[in-house]
């Protein structure tokens, strides 16, 4: 029986799904794991076990890959025409829309996030499928003029079987960011959700089946990084791995690809994004935005503006306001729609608390927060939003991705200083600048080493706009036209006309 906050009820279909024995989804069939092992997935709001999840090991990955390969050769590209692939992806989006309340609840239970934020995620995932459904019929090659009597054209072809390894912070949305372009391009997929949040991906399999995708086009295997993720990255018959998660694991995936079959790799990794506020900015707009760009999703988002730089004349005023707003954020069980839910796991809680300790040890000024929530929230992984002030960019809490509700703030004096400090990081995922001066804003955008720069805004996304990391934040951009390149390869065809 699921523990629920007073007055909250779940959809019948959510309860029925949670009551079922969970299986792996391979070749269109629900299958028990080869070695018979299971692991629990928890509700981070109260540490209750929500379900036992199959733990896929190497023989299961072999089976999933064989099913995907069979589907690729017999039932998918080029056997099914692009327009049909487009229709199937749209149908999946329709079914997700129909089951929106269930997907939201599963996402909230498994990850902890507020229900109304889970709704954005599911709607975002639906949008993503629809955007790439449109691409399925528009993937084109080119003709190339060359010397002599020759015709040269290129074909843009799917890679084959792709392994998709995703994190726990936006479970369904991350699945959509990878499945949607991979399928639109004509690949078959082996998806591994994060072990902390497998439920929405498993539920999605029902919808994939109902939508009418041929068996084996999408396979879902559940389990931790080792052995499940590792078996994917080392597999000799997977043509590409697309990964989102930590930089540490990103490196392991590249190593595994290099030492197995040189599969293609795309990586979306961590960030420590600078959010730079000039004194001439619209401070009212900034302070509301800065609150969310520091703490959205309880700080568990790769793009968050976890390094704030504020021009000195407005620094004190800005910090006072941010502190006041942070202290007013409501914290609680995601089903009650608070501002912030828990962090995802005990491991993440420990990691964030450890960073908070490190920050204090290395002399950062704790402006607010810094503690686990107590009382009614002590069963879950809840933390108070935390702000550190500092003047030293080399501190560990300024350099490393914390991935919790912790933001570091520092004053600056000159635009050039802001730019060089913004770039003083091994990451390069995103950055933002707030100013009314358009030249200053565009100069900043040009000088910043990041895959995305926002001017007078934060965390703006659209499926049509490429998103990827510079420096150690990743390889390859997802979204927009860029993802088509990630999930296809070019073939040049020469015709000798003589
Ligand atoms: P992680 O990188 O270990 O997990 C992400 C995914 O990779 C999960 O599906 C996991 O099972 C899989 N994985 C783990 N080890 C693997 C391996 N050896 N081979 C193949 N797959 C493997 O991230 P974790 O430990 O959950 O979080 C640690 C830190 O990573 C966070 O504190 C945060 O800094 C960062 N992170 C960044 C994310 C992003 O969106 N860029 C998302 C999640 C975590
Ligand atoms: Mg969970």
In the predicted model, is pLDDT for residue 193 greater than 90?
A: yes
Task: Find the mean pLDDT for residues 346-368.
Answer: 98
188 catalytically annotated: no
Res 113: pLDDT: 98
* Cβ-proximal residues to 442 (8 Å cutoff; 6+ apart), any chain: 455
Ligand 1 pocket: which of 167, 195, 430 to mutate (most atoms <8 Å of CB)? 167
CB 318 within 8 A of CB 277: yes
Three-state SS sequence of the chain: CCCCCCCCCCCHHHHHHHHCCCCEEECCEEECCCCCCEEEEEECCCCEEEEEEECCCHHHHHHHHHHHHHHHHHCCCCCCCHHHHHHHHHHHHHHHHHCHHHHHHHHHHHHCCCHHHHHHHHHHHHHHHHHHHHHCCCCCCCEECCCCCEEEEEEEEECCEEEEECCCCCHHHHHHHHHHHHHHCCCEEEEECCCCCCHHHHHHHHHHHHHCCCCCCEEECCCCHHHHHHHHHCCCCCCEEEEECCHHHHHHHHHHHHHCCCCEEEEECCCCCEEEECCCCCHHHHHHHHHHHHHHHHHCCCCCCCEEEEEHHHHHHHHHHHHHHHHHCCECCHHHCCCECCCCCHHHHHHHHHHHHHHHHCCCEEEECCCECCHHHCCCCCECCEEEECCCCCCHHHHCCCCCCEEEEEEECCHHHHHHHHCCCCEECEEEEECCCHHHHHHHHHHCCCCEEEECCCCCCCCCCCEECEECCEECEECCCHHHHHCEEEEEEEEECC
Give 93-151 pLDDT, tens digit per residue: 999 999 999 999 999 999 999 999 999 999 999 999 999 999 999 999 999 999 999 99
Cα(227) to centroid of ligand 2, in Å?
Answer: 19
268 catalytically annotated: yes
- List the CATH code of the domain at 274-462: 3.40.309.10
Which residues, judged by CB distance below 6 Å to any ligand atom, belong to the binding site of ligand 1? 165-167, 169, 192, 194-195, 224-226, 229-230, 233, 244-246, 249, 252-253, 268-270, 302, 351, 401, 403
Point out the catalytic residue in the list 188, 302, 401, 472.
302
Query: pLDDT exceeding 90 applies to what percent of the chain?
Result: 98
**Separation CA 262–CA 236 (nearest Å):** 9
Query: pLDDT exceeding 70 applies to what percent of the chain?
Result: 100
Task: Find the mean pLDDT for residues 361-370.
Answer: 98
Give 3-35 pLDDT, tens digit per residue: 999 999 999 999 999 999 999 999 999 999 999
Ligand 1 pocket: which of 195, 200, 225, 248 to mutate (most atoms <8 Å of CB)? 225
Res 440: pLDDT: 97
Q: What is the mean pLDDT of the chain?
A: 98
CB 141 within 8 A of CB 153: yes
Give 39-88 pLDDT, tens digit per residue: 999 999 999 999 999 999 999 999 999 999 999 999 999 899 999 999 99
- pLDDT-derived band at 448 (thresholds 50, 70, 90) equals very high
Res 78: pLDDT: 87
Task: Find the mean pLDDT for residues 239-247.
Answer: 98
Cα(108) to centroid of ligand 2, in Å?
Answer: 9
Point out the catalytic residue in the list 107, 268, 472, 478.
268
> Which residue, judged by its Cα, is nearest atom 16 of ligand 1?
225
Res 399: pLDDT: 98
R_g (Cα) of the chain, nearest Å: 23
Cα(195) to centroid of ligand 2, in Å?
Answer: 8
Res 1: pLDDT: 76
CATH fold label, 12-269+474-492 = Aldehyde Dehydrogenase; Chain A, domain 1 (3.40.605)
How is the chain split into domains, by residue range?
A: 12-269+474-492, 274-462
Which ligand 1 atom sits closest to the C-alpha of 168? 43
Cα(100) to centroid of ligand 1, in Å?
Answer: 26
- pLDDT-derived band at 498 (thresholds 50, 70, 90) equals confident
Q: The tokens of 191 are what?
A: 């998806």
Q: What pTM value is reported for the model?
A: 0.98
Cα(353) to centroid of ligand 1, in Å?
Answer: 18
Give 294-336 pLDDT, tens digit per residue: 999 999 999 999 999 999 999 999 999 999 999 999 999 999 9
Ion ligand 2: protein residues whose beta carbon lies under 5 Å = 41-42, 110, 196
């Amino acid at each position: 029986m699921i523990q629920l906050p007073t007055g909250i009820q779940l959809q019948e279909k959510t309860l029925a799904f949670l009551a079922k024995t969970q299986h792996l989804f391979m070749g269109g069939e629900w299958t028990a794991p080869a070695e018979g092992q299971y692991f629990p997935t928890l509700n981070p709001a109260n540490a209750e076990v929500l379900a036992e999840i199959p733990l896929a090991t190497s023989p299961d990955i072999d089976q999933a890959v064989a099913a995907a390969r069979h589907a690729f050769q017999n039932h998918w590209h080029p056997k099914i025409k692009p327009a049909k692939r487009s229709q199937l992806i749209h149908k999946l989006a329709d079914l997700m829309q129909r089951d929106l309340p269930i997907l939201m609840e599963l996402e909230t239970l498994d990850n902890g996030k507020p229900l109304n934020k889970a709704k954005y995620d599911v709607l975002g995932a639906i949008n993503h499928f629809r955007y790439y459904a449109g691409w399925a019929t528009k993937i084109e090659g080119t003709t190339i003029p060359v010397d002599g009597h020759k015709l040269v054209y290129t074909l843009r072809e799917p890679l084959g079987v792709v392994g998709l390894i995703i994190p726990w912070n936006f479970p369904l949305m991350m699945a959509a960011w990878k499945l949607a372009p991979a399928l639109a391009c004509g690949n078959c997929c082996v998806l591994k959700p994060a072990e902390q949040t497998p439920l929405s991906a498993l539920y999605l399999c029902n919808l994939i089946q109902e939508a009418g995708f041929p068996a084996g086009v999408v396979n879902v295997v559940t389990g931790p990084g080792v052995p499940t993720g590792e078996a994917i990255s080392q597999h000799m018959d997977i043509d590409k791995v697309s990964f989102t998660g930590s930089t540490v694991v990103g490196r392991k995936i590249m190593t595994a690809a290099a030492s197995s079959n040189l599969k293609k790799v795309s990586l979306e990794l961590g960030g420590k994004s600078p959010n730079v506020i000039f004194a001439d900015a619209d401070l009212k707009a900034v302070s509301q935005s800065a609150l969310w760009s520091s703490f959205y999703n309880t700080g568990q988002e790769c793009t968050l503006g976890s390094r704030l730089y504020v021009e000195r004349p407005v620094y004190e005023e800005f910090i006072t306001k941010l502190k006041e707003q942070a202290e007013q954020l409501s914290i609680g069980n995601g089903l009650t729609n608070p501002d912030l839910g828990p962090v995802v796991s005990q491991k993440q809680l420990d990691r964030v608390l450890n960073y908070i300790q490190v920050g204090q040890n290395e002399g950062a000024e704790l402006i607010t927060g810094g503690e686990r929530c107590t009382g009614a929230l002590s069963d879950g992984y809840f933390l108070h939003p935390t702000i550190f002030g500092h003047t030293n960019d080399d501190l560990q809490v300024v350099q490393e991705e914390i991935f919790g509700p912790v933001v570091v703030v520092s004053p600056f004096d000159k635009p050039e200083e802001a730019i060089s400090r913004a770039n003083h990081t091994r990451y390069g995922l995103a950055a933002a600048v707030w100013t009314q001066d358009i030249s200053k804003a565009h100069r900043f955008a040009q000088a910043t080493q990041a895959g995305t720069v926002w001017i007078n805004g934060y965390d703006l996304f659209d499926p049509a706009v490429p998103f990827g990391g510079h420096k150690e934040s990743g390889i390859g951009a997802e979204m927009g036209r860029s993802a088509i390149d990630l999930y296809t390869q070019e073939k040049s065809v020469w015709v000798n006309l003589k």
